[in-house]
Amino acid sequence: MSQIQPLSEELQIITIDELNENPLEINSKLNAFRAWIVGQPHLRARIDDQFLLQFLRSTEYDLTAAGKKLDNFFAFKTVVTNQLEFGRAKFWELYYLGIIAVLPTPLNDNGPRLIYYRYLYSPDLYRIEELIEMCNMVNESLIKSDPYAGISGVVYIFDMSTVSLKHILQYSLSVVKQLVMFYEKSLPLRIKEICFTNVPLAAEHLFKLLLPCLSKELRQRVTICGKNMENLTRKIPQNYLPRECGGSNGSLAEVIKDYAMVLEAQRQYFEENSQYGTDENLRQGVLDFDGLWQK
């Protein structure tokens, strides 16, 4: 238990009421999970308490579902070739474009973490795959650093006010499937809502690819807000939005700068990632790129 971060009383209540957590059984559940991992010859996974606990919490302590998500998580890192190294100049170049911002105050103060995306890059200069990889790392950092994201979940806000047709056309079916595999099938964070705001007509191409790939449950959590800010504030009260949207949840430039320190503090974690993954030659079954396991 010493490796597990203590929780506020409010978050502990959520783990019990919503995540099926019994504080007295955490150790035994973690030991059972580790035993399952050891029995998977193809899987090289982290086994520290806090990391594994997040997979259990995200699946409401369903060991089978937690194991599948963990397997997907490390298979994704192996099958989807990583070109971007954390902490290198290229990583920080992409990060400081301002594409992703982890807002400092969670929704309703102890609810889901709010993640704000913008299309502040030139499609002529950057491939969408490398930008997605950087954003994936930021989301992965929440596993270790953010109890609000880990317990109450995450809300993604996509501000498409600067999106162009070239941005949209970067979303091939392969790219969309990789996004779904990572965010819905691998990342151990509960997605509570996905909001698209300032949506141009050109985005229809993206939604035609994206929505059919999502589970029915997640599709029901997607809101396309158009250009009317009131459509967004019905879901997220304005004071929880950044100052650039008339809210009080930080200035995006400052938020991005501050969160860089959180990322830097996790440098060792990301540098260790090369030790983990899957050996698909040892898998009992076939990994499908759609993120499904075929037996």
Which pLDDT tens digit goes with each residue over 82-123? 778 898 999 999 999 999 999 999 999 999 999 999 999 999
pLDDT of residue 286: 64
Helix 63-79 vs helix 49-58: angle between axes, to the nearest 10 degrees?
A: 110
Collect the ranges in the chain with pLDDT lower than 70.
1-2, 81, 286-295
**Dist. CA 68–CA 80, nearest whole Å:** 17
DSSP SS3 for 292? coil
For residue 60, give the DSSP letter: T
What architecture is the 89-267 domain classified under in CATH? Answer: 3-Layer(aba) Sandwich (3.40)
**Dist. CA 144–CA 141, nearest whole Å:** 6
pLDDT of residue 294: 39
* Domain residue spans of the chain: 9-79, 89-267
**Dist. CA 62–CA 257, nearest whole Å:** 37
Class of domain 9-79: mainly alpha
**Dist. CA 86–CA 35, nearest whole Å:** 30
CA 107 distance to own-chain centroid: 16
**Dist. CA 114–CA 127, nearest whole Å:** 25
Residues with Cβ within 8 Å of 31's Cβ and at least 6 positions away in sequence, in order, are: none
Tell me the backbone φ, ψ of residue 237, rounded to 5 degrees. Answer: -50, 140
pLDDT of residue 295: 35
Query: Residue 195 in contact with residue 112, Cβ under 8 Å?
Result: no
Q: What's the distance, Cα to Cα, between the start and end of the chain in Å?
A: 36
pLDDT of residue 116: 98
